[in-house]
Amino acid sequence: PKSIYLKDYKRPDFLIEKTELHFTLDPSETLVQSRLEIRRNPEANTPAASLVLHGQELELISLSIDGHALSSAGYDVGPEALTISTVPDEFVFEAVVKINPEGNTSLEGLYKSRTMYCTQCEAEGFRKITYYLDRPDVMSEFLTTIEASESDFPVLLSNGNLIASGEADSGKHFATWHDPFKKPAYLFALVAGTLDYVEDTFTTQSGRDITLRIFVESKDIDKCDHAMRSLKNAMRWDEEVYGLEYDLDIFMIVAVDDFNMGAMENKGLNIFNTSCVLAKPETTTDAGFQRVESVVAHEYFHNWSGNRVTCRDWFQLSLKEGFTVFRDSQFSADMNSQTVKRVEDVSVLRTLQFAEDGGPMAHPVRPPSFIEISNFYTLTVYEKGSEVVGMIHTLLGAENFRTGSDLYFSRHDGEAATIEDFVAAMEEASGRDLAQFTRWYSQAGTPRVVASDTYNEDSGTYTLTLAQSCPTTPEAKAEEKLPFHIPIAMGLLGDAGNLPIQLQGQPADPDTDDNTNIVLELTEPEQTFVFEGVTEKPTPVLLRGFSAPVKLHYDYSREQLTAIMSRDSDGFSRWDACQKLAVAVLEDVMQAYRGDQAYRVDPLLVAAYRAILIDTSLDKAMVALMLQLPTEAYLSEIATEIDVEAIHFARQYVRKHLAAALSAQLEAVYQASNEVVPFSVSASAIASRSLKNTVLSYLICTDTDENLQLAQQQLANATNMTDELSGLTAIINSELATDAQRKTALDEFYQRWSAEALVVNQWLVAQANVAREGGLERVMDLIQHEAFDIKNPNKVRSVIGAFCSGNPVNFHRQDGAGYEFLADQILVLNKLNPQIASRLLTPLTKWRKYDKGRQTLMCNALQRVLAEPALSKDVYEVVSKSLK
């Protein structure tokens, strides 16, 4: 397989003005007739170019140009393209092809999910439907007719507005949809099935009534309210915050069970993984409710950031994804809590994206090349891309950012744009030069910033020096990297609270009434900032709100960390200080574990946690977040060499110690939060459950029967899935429970919920994550369970994905059996669903961070995958790059 390079981008030789499609649906022999109005692209200036259309796994039935059938001498069909060497400047191309939806297990193109037909065309799936210029800079108006048996497929949907329906000559029924907005093929969608829907309306700010429909299987009709509410909130929010209004007369969402990702923003017809749309209290956890809210909003926001203004090529993916993640994060923060949302986002970024940035698949937010684009729907493109947009927001301020976004949307409406276009709009709107800033798009790796300081009591000056560097990544050595433009939001903390800030050489800002916050702009390899009028030796609070995706190092004392935890004005920094303190304490235990010394848990941490637990004025959500020790994944990310056993031991040890030392406070908080109140997904109700269940996870670490009974009672009496699953998780992880007690809890749970696929998935995840010995054997049993189906990505993620990423002590067994298990599953999935196979590889790609013994075993597993003769491009790219 060969790489494709951004530097080789060329405009398309041809444009497709109009696309007419006619589908005659059949499980194994669907007929697709296409009529394309094509003309040469004057801007390409390639007057003699042949017509080359993408096409894969298509059975060609007939071809014609301007009504004249082409004989096989007039064209060439390969496995990936159809070439017609001589065509006029403007012509009508018609083709009939046959495709096999029920045999399509890759879930790209047209496929069957349970009883329905659906499509997934991003990034390059449309070429599995018919011959086409399947690239995002070819935008066309679509007219789509679907013909199918009315009894089996009463609902026939595509993009845009329904313009005709009725009985076809064949006796089947048909529906014709017209999408007036030009779009690339990746936004095409088709759905056919027996579906019910819930309907609502939304009146836009300009007074247009939009019909909103969510289509689901009838058994799920009672799980649509939250998605509908979220959709309406998102529509209103986009009008209010970005001035963006919906454009078609109808907006539809369809829930499907078999889906490679979370959801897809097809124009007017979003297709969702059931896990990201269905929710009701009895079956869905609070995290599930919040995921639905954010994914519904994300896909809706794409209607502008992605659809009305799309990407010129797939290297620009972050143009739509980074910006849309930024928009959905702003939305979720506005709907819930700014600080909680920031902590959650930063946890994901620092744990998973930083790990990606430090591994063999590291790439810039705009990758310079790829073999398979599906491999680049990454945390870097999405989450780091969002952080980059967030830094522009910080540097420009909210008002200039909005002016820039207005300019971007108005200037590029109906176009396929680039990251340069986005940055140029932001520069023009603000008058700021972002040239250096754009290095965030082209240089991979997580920058490291080292802060050091001095305080001069006599002059009242405080001097802060910041030095930046960026490690070597696959595309560039550390020495070749140029300094980034890094916004560092910060403050100074004194004995009684935050100190006023006066930077030398910078007049005080009369427009701000908050003089305790400043954004420093680090642009040089090393820079010094002098603060004046500092009346006491301060503690710097650096990177407030996590203002840049960097690893910032300052040598804090543990006392300074507890001061920030209890007194800083920024909630994020308080949480972050708590994490830092916990990391230090965990590292003490890890060191003792390795050196066979006595274990000691710093009483500072116990005291800090006690203070948090008894302070009833604190936000419960923040208390819960602060009480959660850094995860094993985060501790692995920050380690130079991952010591699997030491990390696991230290975390367990400190948890047990805290549980014992704080048992009275924990019990009091549990009892106080275990109130019976009507269910709600308000931020405060979620916070309350989050605190209660965090506390339960500590209580279960104590070896007392009462606490096991507490978990059993919670499981038995729960009226919502958050509490029920927390009860189950506590029991199956408890060292006190007997095997029989764990089995009873699991069996009863399964019997209760076996008809609810999404609940069963959570039941699978809970088991795959149990860290007790024998995890691999339990997972091998789970893949034989009737609830498991290797063709369903949600099941694969729930068992294999959860085990390999969320259960390090069992996956990284010393004998390498976990690695061999994963390689076996990848080889099966490579044939069925290459995208899923490739994503599952992630834990193996991190082999360089482990001890020599594990390195060899992990590489052996990767080599075994690489030796497979029929390796998909997806898997080949990840395995070969990670072995380099």
- The closest of 357, 354, 312, 348 to 329, measured between CA atoms, is 348
| Min separation Cβ 444 and ligand HT7, Å | 21
- Binding-site string for ligand HT7 from residue 363 to residue 402, where x marks contact by CB under 6 A and - marks none: -----------x--x-------------------------
Which of residues 23 and 326 has its CB atom nearest to Zn ion in the complex? 326
Strands 518-522 and 30-40: unpaired
Q: Which does 332 bind (CB under 5 to 8 A by kind): Zn ion, ligand HT7, none?
A: none
The count of residues interacting with ligand HT7 (CB under 6 A) is 15
Subset of 318-357 contacting ligand HT7 (CB under 6 A): 321
| Min separation Cβ 847 and ligand HT7, Å | 26
Q: What is the DSSP string of 191-217?
A: EEE--EEEEEEEE-TTS-EEEEEEEE-
Cis peptide before 123 (omega within 30 of 0): yes
Buried b (16+ CB within 10 A) or exposed e, 594-604: eeeeeeebbee
Which of residues 122 and 576 has its CB atom nearest to ligand HT7 in the complex? 122
Q: Which does 82 bind (CB under 5 to 8 A by kind): Zn ion, ligand HT7, none?
A: none
Neighbours of 252 (CB within 10 A): 22
- Helix, strand, coil percent values for the chain (each to nearest 5): 45, 20, 35
Total residues found in the chain within this entry: 884
| Min separation Cβ 253 and ligand HT7, Å | 13
Q: Residues 507, 509, 510, 512: what is their CA dihedral angle, to the nearest 10 degrees? A: -160
- The closest of 317, 340, 450 to 386, measured between CA atoms, is 317
Catalytic residue among 217, 265, 299, 632: 299
* Burial label, 47 (beta-carbon count in 10 A; 0-12, 13-18, 19+): exposed
Distance CA 201, CA 179 (A): 20
Q: Please choose, out of 16-24, 297-305, 600-608, 645-653, the segment that lies near ligand HT7 by the rule CB under 6 A.
A: 297-305
Distance CA 636, CA 754 (A): 35
| Min separation Cβ 356 and ligand HT7, Å | 16
| Min separation Cβ 135 and Zn ion, Å | 18
Which of residues 264 and 800 has its CB atom nearest to ligand HT7 in the complex? 264
| Min separation Cβ 243 and Zn ion, Å | 21
> Which residue pairs, CB below 8 angstroms and at least 24 apart, start in 678-681?
679/281, 679/719, 679/720, 681/226, 681/281, 681/286, 681/289
Distance CA 346, CA 546 (A): 7
Per the structure block, which two tokens stand in for 274?
């059931």
Pick from 13, 217, 258, 265: which binds ligand HT7 (CB under 6 A)?
Answer: 265
Query: C-alpha distances in angstroms, 817 versus 280, 487, 798?
Result: 39, 45, 19
Pick from 34, 140, 260, 336: which binds ligand HT7 (CB under 6 A)?
Answer: 260
| Min separation Cβ 709 and Zn ion, Å | 45
Distance CA 66, CA 38 (A): 10
Q: Which does 690 bind (CB under 5 to 8 A by kind): ligand HT7, Zn ion, none?
A: none
Left if phi > 0, otherwise alpha if psi is -120 to 50, otherwise beta: which for 306? left
> Which residue pairs, CB below 8 angstroms and at least 24 apart, start in 404-411?
404/428, 404/429, 404/430, 405/242, 406/243, 408/309, 409/244, 409/304, 409/308, 409/309
CB neighbours of 54 closer than 8 A, spacing ≥ 6? 80, 81, 124, 126, 127, 131, 132, 133, 134, 135
| Min separation Cβ 295 and ligand HT7, Å | 8
Distance CA 258, CA 239 (A): 33
Is residue 804 a contact partner of residue 782, using CB atoms and an 8 Å limit? Answer: no
Which of residues 324 and 714 has its CB atom nearest to ligand HT7 in the complex? 324
Distance CA 397, CA 817 (A): 52
Q: Which does 384 bind (CB under 5 to 8 A by kind): Zn ion, ligand HT7, none?
A: none
Question: Does the protein bind ligand HT7 through residue 231 (CB under 6 A)?
Answer: no
Q: Please choose, out of 120-128, 352-360, 390-398, 764-772, the segment that lies near ligand HT7 by the rule CB under 6 A.
A: 120-128
Q: Which does 260 bind (CB under 5 to 8 A by kind): Zn ion, ligand HT7, none?
A: ligand HT7
Q: Among this protein's residues, is 299 annotated catalytic?
A: yes
Query: C-alpha distances in angstroms, 70 versus 38, 63, 65, 545?
Result: 16, 6, 7, 62
For 695-723, the three-class secondary structure string (H helix, E strand, C coil) is HHHHHCCCCCHHHHHHHHHHHHHCCCHHH
Q: What is the DSSP string of 30-71?
A: EEEEEEEEEEE-TTT--TTPPEEEE--S-EEEEEEETTEEPP
Question: Does the protein bind ligand HT7 through residue 313 (CB under 6 A)?
Answer: no
Which of residues 374 and 560 has its CB atom nearest to ligand HT7 in the complex? 374
Question: Does the protein bind ligand HT7 through residue 299 (CB under 6 A)?
Answer: yes
Which of residues 374 and 418 has its CB atom nearest to ligand HT7 in the complex? 374
Which of residues 148 and 349 has its CB atom nearest to ligand HT7 in the complex? 349
Query: C-alpha distances in angstroms, 751 versus 400, 649, 661, 770?
Result: 56, 34, 38, 20
Pick from 21, 38, 123, 138: which binds ligand HT7 (CB under 6 A)?
Answer: 123
Residue nearest to ligand HT7 (CB): 261
Distance CA 46, CA 49 (A): 6
The DSSP secondary-structure symbol of 313 reads S
Which of residues 258 and 265 has its CB atom nearest to ligand HT7 in the complex? 265
Q: Which does 122 bind (CB under 5 to 8 A by kind): Zn ion, ligand HT7, none?
A: ligand HT7
Question: Does the protein bind ligand HT7 through residue 644 (CB under 6 A)?
Answer: no
Is residue 16 a contact partner of residue 132, using CB atoms and an 8 Å limit? Answer: yes
Q: Which does 846 bind (CB under 5 to 8 A by kind): ligand HT7, Zn ion, none?
A: none
Which of residues 130 and 835 has its CB atom nearest to ligand HT7 in the complex? 835
| Min separation Cβ 54 and ligand HT7, Å | 16
Is residue 483 a contact partner of residue 565, using CB atoms and an 8 Å limit? Answer: no
Question: Does the protein bind ligand HT7 through residue 122 (CB under 6 A)?
Answer: yes
Which of residues 20 and 122 has its CB atom nearest to ligand HT7 in the complex? 122
Q: Please choose, out of 135-143, 151-159, 214-222, 294-302, the segment that lies near ligand HT7 by the rule CB under 6 A.
A: 294-302
- Binding-site string for ligand HT7 from residue 834 to residue 863, where x marks contact by CB under 6 A and - marks none: -x----------------------------
Pick from 52, 210, 255, 264: which binds ligand HT7 (CB under 6 A)?
Answer: 264
The gap from C-alpha 360 to its chain's centroid, in whole angstroms, comes to: 20
Is residue 489 a contact partner of residue 517, using CB atoms and an 8 Å limit? Answer: yes
| Min separation Cβ 321 and Zn ion, Å | 5
Q: Please choose, out of 295-303, 447-455, 658-666, 811-819, the segment that lies near ligand HT7 by the rule CB under 6 A.
A: 295-303
Residues that bind Zn ion (CB under 5 A): 321, 324
Q: Please choose, out of 119-127, 164-172, 645-653, 666-674, the segment that lies near ligand HT7 by the rule CB under 6 A.
A: 119-127
Q: Which does 562 bind (CB under 5 to 8 A by kind): ligand HT7, Zn ion, none?
A: none
Q: Which does 264 bind (CB under 5 to 8 A by kind): Zn ion, ligand HT7, none?
A: ligand HT7
Q: Which amino acid is at 247?
A: D
Pick from 56, 106, 120, 734: which binds ligand HT7 (CB under 6 A)?
Answer: 120
Which of residues 547 and 792 has its CB atom nearest to ligand HT7 in the complex? 792
| Min separation Cβ 302 and ligand HT7, Å | 6
Active-site residues, by number, are 299
Residues forming the site for ligand HT7 (CB under 6 A): 120, 122-123, 260-261, 263-265, 298-299, 302, 321, 374, 377, 835
